[in-house]
Amino acid sequence: MRRRDAGRMDRQDDYAQASRLSRIEPLLYLAPFLIGVAVFTLYPVIHVVFISFMEDYNYLTRAFSGFGLSNYISVLNNKYFIQALSNTFIYVLLVVPIATCVALVVANMLNQKLKLTGLFQTAYFLPMVTSVTAVGLAWRFMFNERIGIINFLLSLVGGEPVGWLTKAEWSMPALVIYGIWNILPFTIILLLAGLQGVNPMFYTAARVDGSKGLRIFFRITAPLLAPTIMLTTIVNTISAFKVFNELFPLFKGQAGPFYNLYTVVYFIYEQMSGKPRLGRAASAAMVLFAVIFALTMVQLLIQRRWRGSGKG
Amino acid sequence: MRVELVHITKRFGSTVAVDDFTATLADGQLIALLGPSGCGKSTLLNLLAGIIPVTGGRARFDEDDVTSWPPERRGVGLVFQNYALYPHMTVAQNISFPLEIKKVPKPERVRRINDIASMARVEELLDRRPDELSGGQQQRVAIARALVKQPRLLLLDEPLSNLDARLRLEMREEIRRVQRETGVTTVFVTHDQEEAMSISDQIVLMRAGKLQQRDPAQTLYHNPVNRFAAEFLGNPPINQIKGRVENGLFRTREGGVGIPLPINAACGNRPAILAVRAESFVLDEGGFPCEVAELFEIGKEEMASLRVGGAVVRAYLPLEGRSGKGDTVRVRLKPRGVFLFDEKTGERL
């Protein structure tokens, strides 16, 4: 029986060799990208995991005294890190829901068949292609206590000038407003695409069934849009947890006017200035990762529940 | 409910979708809106539902002038061509939706959902999602949802066009049954003359936005007002021969035999079209001669292609075994199913 199979085996080997080549070929095309990802993403990510557990790691000599949890203990006992964590949570909890609601309203308006819709659509998507830093600097001018347009508009309705960027209590609102503005275009684009994917016959059906206006939105549009809303919420939550770029232009590179706006990523960044504390930075990054991961899982679970229950 | 349409006109830009449409639809009937694609029948249905506004004319439901009423006020049930079941709701929730909007209390809601579900025969499906249903089941659910609010008027837009042939036959009987049981005035749009003929009480025939004829199916078939109506109904399509009437004989344009007409035709000497249904030919030794061009057998039917003058017509004739291709047979026309139309205007003569 063996002998009889031998010929077939040979042939199979030939096939295997040929298909192995054809399997390698696409990998060669992908190689430049894959190498880039491996060097600049994969390796650092894995390395960070290791570093976070290394005791007394010296990044120049690469020496360390063993594995342990001391970095995590140090980070979780650091009051600036705890402050950064709480600031980040507040930021996420404000920015993501508000931005989602505003984006829903705007996307709905853009989805109406009105004159100038095309113009508005372009205008709303413009921020996506402008530099975050340039836009941030523009916002710094707008937030300016004495000459900023925001305080000017406030004064028109009788408001007192607000020290957006100079007072501790107003710095978070300023950051949140800027953060919302920053993620709006992306959110609007996705929601608008989602809205345009809703077959208009459902609206007609709902109208004939006797409902109109907001009820159609809550009973028909929103449930049909739920997958898109979920997607933007998850993506926005993740990006909001990484709030850092937004701080720089507004507060001249500081974490708020009185260093009161520490965020997790800013904390990580600061560990690397002066005397680098690589271990602490790495473990802070891991904590952030754990938080984002856990929250994303919760969101996905909620989404599955939501669908399963059929409440829509 | 009686529906009265008076000079209803709908324009989209420069195109006229519905042109000066006047008709009264009687209470409790099943009415087919029949016509070729683009004849404005779906537009007319949407006008009835109030989904799109009319450009001109009035619409009345019984005593109410509903011309400017929005759909939610008109109390119509609409079944869409693609059913438009809400994909995020179960069957029960879909049927319940119109009742929730009307704030019907829950116990009554449950009772009405169960009643309508058993009538539409979807009780077993109440907990399912639309994407778990077959086409026929979705259709039943869509009808249940449209009927649960006890509409004054039930509208169905091409209700059978998304079903396969077998299911189509079944569902059209279902629509007929449900309509009889509820007695609701029902208008359904179709381009399929057989569908319209088989279940409707009245057929409203449309062409290019204009009403052609409104009659029961048999009347429409046996007494078409114009060439279009004669042409649109019946399978095989009615035979049409161009020519003129001379002394009670119809002479084809190409000349040849004169066909004795069994009907009165006072039409002078103008160019006319003789339209003859395939079943209106009979073999008769005293009839006019024609040549057998082809013989077919379709199931139990025997059909022959005959050459009359220069024209070729199809006729149901029992020729099998008696005559073959190329033979000459003598036939005459029955009075029923024979019409003369003006060649230019298509009007019945």
Q: Quickly name the fold that domain B3-232 has.
A: Rossmann fold (3.40.50)
Q: What is the pLDDT of residue B43?
A: 92
Q: What is the pLDDT of residue B207?
A: 93
Helix and strand counts by DSSP (H, E) for chain B: 9, 19
Q: Which of A144, A239, A226, A254 is nearest to A182 (CA)?
A: A239
- Dist. CA A119–CA A114, nearest whole Å: 11
ipTM, interface predicted TM-score of the complex: 0.80
User: What is the sign of the dihedral through the CA atoms of B272, B278, B282 and B288?
Assistant: positive
Look at residue B304 and give its three-state secondary structure.
strand
- Dist. CA B346–CA B349, nearest whole Å: 9
pLDDT tens string A207-227: 888 888 888 999 999 999 988
Amino acid at B45: L
Measured in angstroms, the CA of B72 and the nearest CA of chain A are apart by: 4
Interchain CB distance below 8 Å, A204 and B90? no
- On whether any CB of chain B is under 8 Å from the CB of A149, the answer is no
- pLDDT mean over B17-35: 93
Interchain CB distance below 8 Å, B51 and A226? no
pLDDT tens string A125-147: 777 778 777 888 899 999 988 88
CA-CA distances (angstroms) from residue A31 to A25, A28, A36, A198? Answer: 10, 5, 8, 40
B162-B165-B166-B167 Cα dihedral, nearest 10 degrees: 10
Q: What is the pLDDT of residue A1?
A: 44
- pLDDT mean over A287-312: 79
Q: What is the pLDDT of residue A245?
A: 85
Interchain CB distance below 8 Å, B72 and A208? yes
Interchain CB distance below 8 Å, B71 and A208? yes
How many residues are given for chain A?
312
Provide, as residue numbers in chain A, all residues whose Cβ is less than 8 Å from the Cβ of B129: 310
> Looking at per-residue confidence, does B167 or A39 come out higher?
A39
Amino acid at B194: E
Measured in angstroms, the CA of A303 and the nearest CA of chain B are apart by: 13
- Dist. CA A30–CA A36, nearest whole Å: 10
Confidence of residue B349 (pLDDT cuts 50, 70, 90): confident
Reported as type and span, the H/E element at residue B211 is: strand B210-215
Interchain CB distance below 8 Å, B77 and A208? yes
- Dist. CA A66–CA A53, nearest whole Å: 8
Measured in angstroms, the CA of A10 and the nearest CA of chain B are apart by: 49
pLDDT tens string B99-136: 999 899 999 999 999 999 998 889 999 999 999 999 88
Provide, as residue numbers in chain A, all residues whose Cβ is less than 8 Å from the Cβ of B71: 204, 207-208
- What residue in A sits closest to B149 (Cα-Cα)? A209
Was domain A79-309 assigned CATH 3.90.79.10? no
- What residue in B sits closest to A306 (Cα-Cα)? B88
- Dist. CA A2–CA B156, nearest whole Å: 70
Over 50: is that where the pLDDT of A312 sits?
no
Confidence of residue B60 (pLDDT cuts 50, 70, 90): very high
Over 60: is that where the pLDDT of B42 sits?
yes
Q: What is the pLDDT of residue A14?
A: 67
Facing residue for B101 by CB, picked from A204, A209, A224: A209
| Domain boundaries defined on chain B | 3-232, 239-342
- pLDDT mean over B63-85: 91
DSSP string, B67-105: TT--HHHHTEEEE-TT----TTS-HHHHHHHHHHHTT--
- Dist. CA A89–CA A80, nearest whole Å: 14
- pLDDT mean over B28-53: 92
Q: Which of A241, A239, A249, A290 is nearest to A267 (CA)?
A: A241
Measured in angstroms, the CA of A210 and the nearest CA of chain B are apart by: 4
Q: What is the pLDDT of residue B266?
A: 67
Token code pair at residue A31: 């190689």
Interchain CB distance below 8 Å, B129 and A220? no
Mean pLDDT of all residues in chain B? 90
| Domain boundaries defined on chain A | 2-67, 79-309
The CA-to-CA distance between both ends of chain B, in Å, stands at 36
Amino acid at B154: L
Amino acid at A189: I
Q: What is the pLDDT of residue A91?
A: 96
Over 80: is that where the pLDDT of B33 sits?
yes
Confidence of residue B284 (pLDDT cuts 50, 70, 90): confident
Reported as type and span, the H/E element at residue B203 is: strand B202-207
Over 60: is that where the pLDDT of A6 sits?
no
DSSP string, A40-69: IIIHHHHHHHHHHHEES-BTTTTB--EE-S
Facing residue for A310 by CB, picked from B51, B78, B89: B89
Over 90: is that where the pLDDT of B324 sits?
no
Interchain CB distance below 8 Å, A210 and B93? no
Facing residue for A207 by CB, picked from B72, B80, B102: B72
Confidence of residue A5 (pLDDT cuts 50, 70, 90): low
Facing residue for A208 by CB, picked from B49, B90, B93: B49
Contact B338, B274 (CB under 8 A): yes
- What residue in B sits closest to A199 (Cα-Cα)? B84
Q: What is the pLDDT of residue A306?
A: 67
pLDDT tens string B288-310: 888 888 888 877 888 899 988 77
Which of B74, B101, B109 should one mutate to test binding to chain A, selecting the residue with the greatest count of A CBs within 10 A?
B101
- Dist. CA A177–CA A98, nearest whole Å: 10
Facing residue for A310 by CB, picked from B90, B97, B98: B90
Residues above pLDDT 90, as percent of chain B: 58
Q: What is the pLDDT of residue B138?
A: 93
Interchain CB distance below 8 Å, A205 and B93? no
Q: What is the pLDDT of residue B271?
A: 85
pLDDT tens string A74-120: 999 999 999 999 999 999 999 999 999 999 999 988 888 777 777 87
The stretches of chain A forming alpha helices (DSSP H) are 2-37, 43-53, 70-76, 79-110, 117-125, 132-143, 149-156, 168-196, 200-208, 214-216, 222-241, 247-250, 264-271, 278-309
Instruction: Give the B-side interface with A, CB within 8 Å.
Output: 49, 51, 70-72, 76-78, 80, 82, 84, 86-90, 93, 97-98, 101-102, 129, 145, 149
- Dist. CA A97–CA A109, nearest whole Å: 19
pLDDT tens string A178-201: 999 989 988 998 999 999 989 989
Contact A235, A55 (CB under 8 A): no
Q: Which residue has the tokens 């009927």?
A: B147
Residues above pLDDT 70, as percent of chain B: 99
- Domain B239-342: which CATH number of 3.30.1360.170, 3.40.50.1000, 2.40.50.140, 3.30.70.360: 2.40.50.140
Contact B248, B261 (CB under 8 A): yes
How many residues are given for chain B?
349
Token code pair at residue B155: 């509208």
User: What is the sign of the dihedral through the CA atoms of A7, A9, A10 and A11?
Assistant: positive
Interchain CB distance below 8 Å, A224 and B88? yes
> Looking at per-residue confidence, does B257 or B329 come out higher?
B329
C-alpha angle B244-B245-B249 in degrees, rounded to nearest 5: 125
Look at residue B220 and give its three-state secondary structure.
helix
- What residue in B sits closest to A211 (Cα-Cα)? B101
Provide, as residue numbers in chain A, all residues whose Cβ is less than 8 Å from the Cβ of B158: none
Token code pair at residue A219: 């009973």
pLDDT tens string A158-177: 888 888 888 888 999 999 99
- pLDDT mean over A26-41: 92
Q: What is the pLDDT of residue A213?
A: 83
Over 70: is that where the pLDDT of B328 sits?
yes
- pLDDT mean over A295-300: 90
CA–chain centroid gap for B270, Å, is 31
Give B129's DSSP letter. Answer: -
Q: A11: buried, middle or exposed (CB in 10 Å: 19+, 13-18, 0-12)? A: exposed
- pLDDT mean over B137-149: 92
Interchain CB distance below 8 Å, A209 and B98? yes
Interchain CB distance below 8 Å, A210 and B89? no
Interchain CB distance below 8 Å, A202 and B88? no
Contact B230, B339 (CB under 8 A): yes
